[in-house]
Amino acid sequence: MELLRMSKAAKCLGIHPMTLRQWAIDGKIPFMWVGRERRFSSVDVESMKRGSDSATSRLRREVLYVRVSGSSGQESALAAQEEELRATSAGEVVKVVKDRGSGLRENRPGLNRVLTMVADGSVTVVRVTHEDRLARFGVGWLKRLFSVYGVTLEVLHPKKSGGRDELLEDFVSLVATFAGRLYGMRSAEDRKRLLAETGQCPSGGRAA
């Protein structure tokens, strides 16, 4: 029996190393730690290969999802995410889906397109640079949904923080998002009041 590094085991299975990493985390394939690296038994790899020929023989079709928070600008950030994902692609890139908006917003046009592609079998892998590009919260639920359709989520740079640091990061994200929304609401109200005072639009409380 030989203990294989992740890259070699993934090559034997014909999959991307990130996919193998996710399989290990999900308990789909046994592994052992050697120092800080996961190692895979050649026996387990061969068994997995024989048992999943139908799954791994499918053409790998990727959708790359990139997102920025701002409604305008940040073209360089979108381009940088796309470039990094394309450089590490291990299959056919079917589509690059772009979104502009908060990761806390569930009804995003781009995210909806990704979900449609997952459901209709257009892709086998959804790839993002960081987990929070897909969503600030609920990524675990999205992974489960993807798995129902036989689709894998691959995160190029998995989160390394945990415990208090991760909770603090989530708290800051929530505060920033709601502060931005509140500021937007107040700005809209101020603009409406100023227009009403200058007579450029009727005030809601006055008769026509």
Per residue in 68-87, is it b (16+ CB within 10 Å) or e — as a string? bbeeeeeeeebeebbebbee
- Supply the DSSP string of 52-114, one letter for each residue: THHHHTS--EEEEEEEESSSS--HHHHHHHHHHHHHT--SEEEEEEEEES-TT-S--HHHHHH
Choose between 199 and 115: higher pLDDT. Answer: 115
User: What does each C-alpha distance from 59 to 92, 121, 151, 199, 208 come to in angstroms?
Assistant: 8, 12, 12, 63, 65
Note the pLDDT tens digit of each residue in 121-180.
Answer: 899 999 999 999 999 888 889 998 998 888 999 999 987 655 565 566 667 666 766 666
Note the pLDDT tens digit of each residue in 90-128.
Answer: 889 999 999 998 888 888 999 999 999 999 989 999 999
> What does DSSP assign to residue 162?
-
The rounded distance, in Å, linking the Cα atoms of 17 and 42 is: 15
Residue 90 φ then ψ, to 5°: -125, 20
The pLDDT value given to residue 178: 66
Strand partners, 99: 67
Helix H or strand E segment including 128: strand 125-128
Q: In what order do the strands lie in the sheet with 37-41?
A: 3-5, 37-41, 32-34
The rounded distance, in Å, linking the Cα atoms of 45 and 197 is: 73
Cβ count within 10 A of residue 173: 17
128, 146 Cβ separation under 8 angstroms: no
